[in-house]
Structure 1
Amino acid sequence: MFFSEACLCVAGGWRMRLRQSGYLLLRTSQLQTQSLWFGIVTLLYRILVSKWPLYKECIKENRPFDWDEEYRLVDYVVGSKEDFQDLWASVDYVYSSFNVHGNHWVLLCLDLVSCQVQVWDSLPSLTTAEDMTNILLPIRELVPKLLDSTGFFDRRGRSSTYKEPWPIVIVDSIPLQRNNSDCGVFTIKYFEYIATGVGLDTLCQENMSYFRKQLAFQLWTNTPMY
């Protein structure tokens, strides 16, 4: 499932935009010591995965991977990308949809506080924790290197240990799908419920038909989600 229409909503200090560029961005007002940005950034992950063979080649040949040449990646982190104009150094979490096996969507969370990758998977029986760890190896290894190249860890006052591959955390005790077709809706709704702080009680298989109609209406009419 991809996002194709623009959508904006403002509720209780939260601002959410659904853009044609394929990501969902949400910001909370300055109520805490640090502002939080949440973004669905599938393109960034695609670029990272595409650069994985080149990165491994550099490691094998004992030569540095030139992040300066990978300006498309760096631009996301330093706020130079259109619609991504905040430094990741001021961000705590980055949420993104991610496709597994070519036919299944999960929600990824880059936890920039704990330096780990969290996976919200509505069909965990499809992918073991070991397989998911291997699938996400390019992200686990390249994200810390990308952040380090932009001075992220220095700005955060973090030690060099966080530059190593980040661990995977499979989030459990979450609502799961009971069919083979609702992973995309679950992925969107996981993010929506997390971002707005709503309990997960109503995020269930029985409500998927309603959620599909709701999303279709909101996207088609450019109606705020809240």
Structure 2
Amino acid sequence: MGTQEFLESCMKNLPLDTFVKGLNPSQAKVEDSLDWLELPKSLKKPTDSLELQKSLKKPAVRLDDRDIELDGENFPDRCLVFVHPTDFKKMQDWQDTRTAIQIGPSMLDGDLAGRIMSASSWLKNYEIDAIMYVFRERTTLKRWNVDRVAFMICVFSDFISKDYQNFCKGIKKYTMDPLLLQYGKGELPSHGKTQMLWNVDVDRMYVPVWVNCNHWIALCISFVTRNIQVFDCGGKKKIKEVEAFAQLIPRIVKAVQSLTIQKHFHITPYNVSYVPMSGLNRLQCHCGVYTIKHIECHVLGLDISMVNDENIWGARIKIMWDLWEAANDLELIERMSKYEPIKCSKPAEYVEIDDL
């Protein structure tokens, strides 16, 4: 099987269909509408005294629709949720043209934008991968003052899940999928490849993970502390899918470093810790947004409590702006024009890892 075919087969386990009938009663189907960039009533300026009194009990609105002046430039969470009025107008003008724009591995079009801007839609892997591409390029181009960091795509977590099934059949017979080794060497993801080795050039990486077939979480995997931090807006204390990362990541690190460093590496599972949080995602459709924003907060050294159910709509709009801005960034467009997909003319040899 060629690489592209293998990737497509793995995508079947990811949330390609946002609406799944009967899976979640709170989930509504996204309809194609020219008004997807209109903000919900909950974010618009109250028109009567009763609504005004209710709104005074909530944090100040950061964003509003096209007829109302936007505010929020001086709030601490502005980098996570605030979009300037002129920038919001740019997105609305683009909406009217219905022009699809390439953004890393994804296509920014009405469907993708509609999912981001719908309060009743879960994010798909397309938009998750697109924003991870933006994060990767921001660090590569030094637009973020963050070094030695890697960002994975959704297919990577699916590779881990599939390989872990083979691992559980017997450690002695386990052979690593060669594509995992390419991730460890920075040759994948193809868009924005870094050529940086895990635990040599990279200290930590962030991974979005689709769990239980209906929920997004984020992982921060530190090669230095050998620890995996789990960010789950649902506040769970144990997620079975995380065990696959705890077991396989140290094996990938050993395989990668064995290629460049003549040294024996002992393999022990990484420790797992769950970041405390509660009272989030009451609408049950924002887990993908929280996953993105928890990664962004952690990368930038911000408190993850800065994104919550009160400003999650602003976070959705900010994600929309970040993607639109990146899709129209001349430097990124030039870099994307040089993109070459990975080629696999013949099956690669599997990597055998001895447990020491």
Structure 1 and Structure 2 fold alike (TM over 0.5): yes
Counterpart position of 2:274: 170
Deviates more, 1:174-183 or 1:108-117: 174-183
Counterpart selection for 1:203 from 300, 304, 307: 307
Q: TM-score, normalised by structure 2?
A: 0.48
Matched length: 195
Does the 8 Å contact 1:217/1:223 carry over to 2?
no
Whether the aligned pair in 1 keeps the contact of 2:148 and 2:202 (CA below 8 Å) is: yes
Q: What secondary structure is seen at the aligned counterpart in 2 of 1:102?
A: coil
Tell me the residue number matched to 1:5.
Answer: none
Unmatched tracts of structure 2, length 5 or more? 1-14, 17-78, 80-102, 107-128, 330-356
Q: What pairs with 1:47-86 in structure 2 (closer than 5 Å)?
A: 47-59=159-171, 62-63=172-173, 65-67=174-176, 70-81=177-188, 82=190, 83-86=193-196
C-alpha separation between the residues in 2 aligned to 1:135 and 1:54? 14
Greater C-alpha Rg: 2
Establish whether residue 39 from structure 1 lines up as the match of residue 124 from structure 2. Answer: no
Q: Cα offset for 1:189?
A: 0.8
- Partner deviation per Cα, 1:130-156 (whole Å, 9 max, x = no partner): xx1x3322221111111111226995x
Q: Does the CA-based 8 Å contact 1:95-1:110 persist in structure 2?
A: yes
Aligned-pair CA distance for 1:103:
0.8
**What residue number does 1:15 align with?**
none
Letter of the structure 1 residue corresponding to residue 317 of structure 2: K
TM-score by length of 1: 0.72
Higher relative strand content: 1
For residues 85-112 of structure 1, give each alpha carbon's deviation from its aligned partner in whole angstroms, at most 9, with x where no partner exists.
2111211110011111111111111111
Cα distance in structure 2, aligned partners of 1:93 and 1:175: 28
Identity of aligned residues (%): 21
**What is the CA–CA distance in structure 1 between the aligned matches of 2:295 and 2:271, rounded to whole Å?**
21
SS of equivalent residue, structure 2 residue 210: strand
In the alignment, the residues of structure 1 paired with residue 304 and residue 231 of structure 2 have an alpha-carbon distance, to the nearest angstrom, of 13
Query: Are the counterparts in 2 of residues 35 and 90 from structure 1 also a CA contact under 8 Å?
Result: no
What is the CA RMSD across the aligned residues, in angstroms? 3.2
Q: CA deviation at 1:27?
A: 2.2
Amino acid at match of 2:309: Q
